[in-house]
Amino acid sequence: MFKTVSLAVVSALCISASAVAAPHSASGIILTYDLNKDESLPLEEFVDARRARFNASDSNKDGVLDESEYVYEWEGKVEKRLAEDRKASVKQTHIRFHAVDSNDDEFITIDEVNAVGERSFSRMDSDNDGIVALGDPEPAPRRSASQEKDDKPELVQRPMLRMPTSHNIEGFVTLYDQNGDEKVTKEEFHAVRKAQFQRTDENSDDKLTEQEYVLEFEDRLDAQIEKTHEGQIKQTYVRFEVLDTDENGKMTFSEYMVSGFNAFHRYDTNGDGYLTLADPAPAPRQQEQSDTTTAQVSE
């Protein structure tokens, strides 16, 4: 199905799929390929770990990966990661319920929702004009307690599952702009949150139980999981085509390592042949086709 895709379409798919592709980072690469768990990844260890992964994916042991083997291996990782991310998201939703339930009576009222909403809107409305619009300055990033205590970088795996967010201007406007004018008034904001409250309040008693709160979020979570899974698999077919440079339907280890070397050298910014969290972050770059070929490496 993907064998007749033109280069222009491949490029478009690569760019659009990047929104749901597994994020890649030095931290993700180290966590995935650091065999001795010393938080330092020399190139030799990276190649050995990639070889082991390649061999494990080669189910018929013919020394190359066909499209089905390549996709099947990644699909297994996608499903495992999404299940882990779902569990963590549900756990966080229980925590969030109790944070919103300010009087600890085991119910959330619309007043409690509005109190949290006021703080959220004020944070995004940095110029205090009562409107959050595309082009407004981004709010200062939130810092966790551990970040406040110690700025030492930590090995963390970024979640593959990403829900729509209201923590940046674009996400906030996307979620709450009702008339398509690319801005959100406080009235629009509260109207959307009230409508969501009413949908979540299954028995219409004007208060949310923890079960109602979590179940509503799980419904949205599962819809996003399905979307993410579909996008990941579509991208994997595209990535196979990109890496299968001789177009024979078989990926050699050398072809497989093209994306690996690209990713390793991108994050080995001091060029010493080791990936560590002490390496400076690489300069940001615009999304391009080569980004897609590195996406699987870090996960």
Q: Read off the pLDDT of residues 260-285 as tens digits, 9 standing for 90 and up.
A: 999 999 999 999 999 999 999 898 86
* Among the ranges given (10-14, 195-199, 246-250, 291-295), the one the predictor scored with the smallest mean pLDDT: 10-14
Q: Report d(CA 99, CA 192) in Å as an integer.
A: 20
**Contact of 166 with 155, CB cutoff 8 Å:** no
Tell me the pLDDT tens digit for each residue of 76-114: 999 999 999 999 999 999 999 999 999 999 999 999 999
Tokens linked to 27: 């931290």
Query: Where does residue 232 rank: exposed (0-12), middle (13-18), buried (19+ CB within 10 A)?
Result: buried
Query: Where does residue 160 rank: exposed (0-12), middle (13-18), buried (19+ CB within 10 A)?
Result: buried
**Contact of 41 with 33, CB cutoff 8 Å:** yes
Amino acid letter, 135: G
**pLDDT score of 289:** 42
Q: Report d(CA 212, CA 256) in Å as an integer.
A: 46
* Among the ranges given (34-38, 84-88, 152-156, 213-217), the one the predictor scored with the smallest mean pLDDT: 152-156
User: Which residue from 32, 49, 11 is spatially nearest to 253, judged by alpha carbons?
Assistant: 49
**pLDDT score of 284:** 80
Give the residue carrying structure tokens 């190139």: 43
**What sign results for the dihedral spanned by CA atoms 219, 224, 226, 227?**
positive
Cβ neighbors of 34 (< 8 A, separation 6 or more) are 40, 41, 45, 49
Percentage helix, strand, coil for the chain under 3-state DSSP, each rounded to 5? 55, 5, 40
Tell me the pLDDT tens digit for each residue of 38-48: 999 999 999 99
Structural element, H or E, at residue 88? helix 67-100
**Contact of 276 with 30, CB cutoff 8 Å:** yes
- End-to-end Cα spacing for the chain: 26
Q: Report d(CA 136, CA 124) in Å as an integer.
A: 9
Tell me the pLDDT tens digit for each residue of 104-130: 999 999 999 999 999 999 999 988 999
Look at residue 159 and tell me whether its pLDDT is greater than 60.
yes
Query: Where does residue 150 rank: exposed (0-12), middle (13-18), buried (19+ CB within 10 A)?
Result: exposed
Tokens linked to 232: 């990941």
Q: Report d(CA 282, CA 280) in Å as an integer.
A: 6
Tokens linked to 229: 């899974």
